[in-house]
Amino acid sequence: MDIDFYDMNLRPPDKSIAEAFGSDEELIRLEGGQGTSYVSGNIVLKPSVNINKESWVADTFDKLLESNDVRFARPIRSIDKSWSYKNYVAWSFLKGEHAKGKYRQKLSASQAFHRLLKDIERPGFFDFPPNSWSAADQVVWVKQKFNYDKEFLDLINQITPHLKPLDLPNQLVHGDLSGNFLLGENLPPAIIDFSPVWAPNGFAEGVLLADAIAWEDAAPESLEIFNLIPDIHQFAWRGVLRRIVEQAEHIKWFGKDKSEAVEDARVFQKAIDYLKDNSS
């Protein structure tokens, strides 16, 4: 079966692609995400949708310093020394399991991870959003113009009165931490599937808080650890806003059914209600 990924009719990787990155092991499709990643031995193959962006990310993570507090995957070059081969890129496989909750561990790992990214310069690809998620980030952090249908505006208009200016420097952050932690016994937490965003440090945790409420039905007491993050409620308001805007953008970018997009956006009403009750 072909993969319909951002309107790319991309075939699943075959053995020759895995071999080009140094693995002759069986290809096994990984659950989660867009369902387009495959593991082969100690490597993970992912579709190469935007080679300029993905090459920059690979170059960056190839040089990133190690940390005792967080693990992250390293990119793998193909036999021709490039980061991409037949529309796929490869990253090292990391051990661990996905787990709901565990917010203390996740926040600690996120803070360590973002310290590593602090001094990386802004890449040019942020000027040209490559997908609906990046377009939503730009709407939230740059444009702040919401030209969407009423169903989305009904949610957005509950958020905008609570937004206060944040006079903070931007840096490279992970825009989609939820579901992208791997926890293992006697191992530091791992962060995978890097989704680059140019925003103040703290936005990643704000999105994580919004997702914890909307997607994981997290108990209020388990969320208290987030209060250690400076300006967390402002970041969470923007995280909720990003999740709603991205659903509207999904309709534009790859024709997501509007009723489904609206339903997915309305899940974040729970996060809006939580923030109304708990933020100053």
CA distance 191 to 188: 10
CATH of the domain at 81: 3.30.200
Is the pLDDT reported for residue 7 higher than 70? no
Residues 233 and 196 in one domain: yes
Strand stretches in 93-224, DSSP E: 170-174, 181-182, 190-191, 196-200
| Residue matched to tokens 């997290």 | 218
One domain, residues 129 and 248: yes
The verdict on residue 163 lying in a domain is yes
Asked whether residue 98 is domain-assigned, the answer is no
Confidence of residue 188 (pLDDT cuts 50, 70, 90): very high
* Inside any domain, residue 223: yes
Same domain membership, residue 38 and residue 74 = yes
Same domain, 76 and 141: no
Report the predicted TM-score, pTM, of the whole model to 2 decimal places.
0.93
* Domain co-membership, 82 together with 137: no
Among 92, 111, 142, the domain-final residue is: 92
User: Does residue 97 lie within any of the structural domains?
Assistant: no
Quick one: average pLDDT of 78-89?
A: 95
Judge whether 265 lies within some domain: yes
Among 48, 71, 92, the domain-final residue is: 92
Least confident of 127-136, 178-187, 200-209: 127-136
Q: What is the pLDDT of residues 103-114, one digit of tens each?
A: 999 999 999 999
State both tokens at 233: 């409620």
**Are 265 and 162 contained in the same domain?**
yes
- Say which CATH number the domain at 137 has: 3.90.1200
Asked whether residue 239 is domain-assigned, the answer is yes
Give the separation between CA 265 and CA 272, rounded to whole angstroms. 11
Domain termination residue (choose one: 54, 73, 92): 92
Task: Compute the half-sphere exposure of residue 54: CA atoms within 13 Å on the CB side of its CA.
Answer: 20
Structural domain of residue 242, as residue ranges? 103-278
Is residue 164 located within the same domain as residue 59?
no
| pLDDT tens, position by position, 88-131 | 999 999 999 999 999 999 999 999 999 999 999 999 988 888 78
- The string of pLDDT tens digits covering residues 246-279 is 999 999 999 999 999 999 999 999 999 999 999 8
Torsion of CA 210, 216, 217, 218, to 10 degrees: -80
Residue 53 lies in a domain: yes
- Owner of token pair 């790859």: 254
Residue 73 has pLDDT above 90, yes or no: yes
Question: What's the pLDDT at 20?
Answer: 96
Q: Is residue 9's pLDDT more than 80?
A: no
Return the structure tokens found at 185.
């016994």
What is the bridge-based pairing of β-strands 71-72 and 190-191? parallel
User: From CA 271, how far away is CA 81, in angstroms rounded?
Assistant: 45
- Length reported for the chain: 280
Closest Cα partner for 129 from 4, 250, 255, 264? Answer: 250
User: Is the CA virtual torsion 262, 196, 38, 30 positive or negative?
Assistant: negative
What whole-number distance in Å separates Cα of residue 260 and Cα of residue 280? 32
pLDDT above 90: percentage of residues in the chain = 85
180 and 57 assigned to the same domain:
no
Structural domain includes residue 135: yes
Give the model's pLDDT for residue 239: 98
- Reduce the DSSP state of residue 47 to 3 states and report it: strand
Indicate if the pLDDT at residue 79 is higher than 90. yes
Q: Are residues 26 and 118 in the same domain?
A: no
Same domain assignment for residues 41 and 74: yes
Q: How many domains does the chain have?
A: 2
280 vs 129, residue with greater confidence: 129
Same domain, 72 and 150: no
pLDDT of residue 143: 80
Shared domain check, 267 and 185: yes
